[in-house]
């Protein structure tokens, strides 16, 4: 890397805006309710979702806490992994709702809606392991 031309930096507000925009895109594609969105993002009320939507529309900065940013990052990773595993968009759009024996018969979405970060981690690890088997 050339010291005279450092890579551009992304500040926290820019990163948060991108994460929130991606979060809404993913959860819209999965046809989630605002209640489900709140659970996945670890939010106590829908007011925060409303504020995020307003700030996105107005181009205002968004500040996310570490926990929320971590949750949104896991969701993005889950979304990307499903896309890599399935070539047909209908399959990767619906996979999150299909019963899965590896989650005790619950769907990946039901598992993620447990509300804990570890529920998102478990689904992400599951998909990463599955991808490892498919692409070895």
**Count of domains in the chain?**
1
Residue 52 within any structural domain of the chain? yes
The whole-angstrom separation of Cα 131 and Cα 60 is: 37
pLDDT in tens, 38-50: 999 999 999 999 9
pLDDT(136) > 50: no
Residue 6 within any structural domain of the chain? no
pLDDT in tens, 25-79: 999 999 999 999 999 999 999 999 999 999 999 999 999 999 999 999 999 999 9
The whole-angstrom separation of Cα 52 and Cα 109 is: 22
The whole-angstrom separation of Cα 3 and Cα 131 is: 37
pLDDT band at 15 (very low <50, low <70, confident <90, very high): confident
106-109, long-range: CB < 8 A, 24+ apart: 108/78, 109/30, 109/32, 109/36
Domain span at 56: 12-134
Residue 5 within any structural domain of the chain? no
Look up the pTM and report it.
0.85
Residue 3 within any structural domain of the chain? no
Residue 32 within any structural domain of the chain? yes
Residue 51 within any structural domain of the chain? yes
Residue 1 within any structural domain of the chain? no
Percent of the chain past pLDDT 90, that is, above it, reads 72
**φ/ψ (deg, to 5) at 86:** -120, 130
């Amino acid at each position: 890397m050339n010291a005279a031309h450092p890579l551009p930096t992304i500040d926290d507000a820019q990163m948060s805006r991108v994460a929130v925009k991606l979060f809404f895109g993913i959860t819209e594609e999965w046809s989630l309710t605002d209640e489900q969105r709140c659970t996945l993002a670890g939010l106590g009320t829908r007011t925060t979702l409303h504020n995020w939507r307003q700030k996105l529309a107005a181009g205002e900065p968004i500040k996310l806490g570490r926990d929320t940013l971590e949750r949104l990052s896991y969701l993005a990773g889950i979304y990307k992994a499903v896309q890599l595993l399935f070539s047909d968009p209908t399959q990767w759009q619906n996979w999150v709702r299909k019963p899965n024996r590896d989650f005790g018969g619950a769907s990946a979405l039901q598992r993620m809606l447990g509300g804990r970060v570890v529920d998102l981690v478990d689904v992400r690890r599951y998909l990463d392991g599955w991808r490892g088997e498919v692409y070895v």
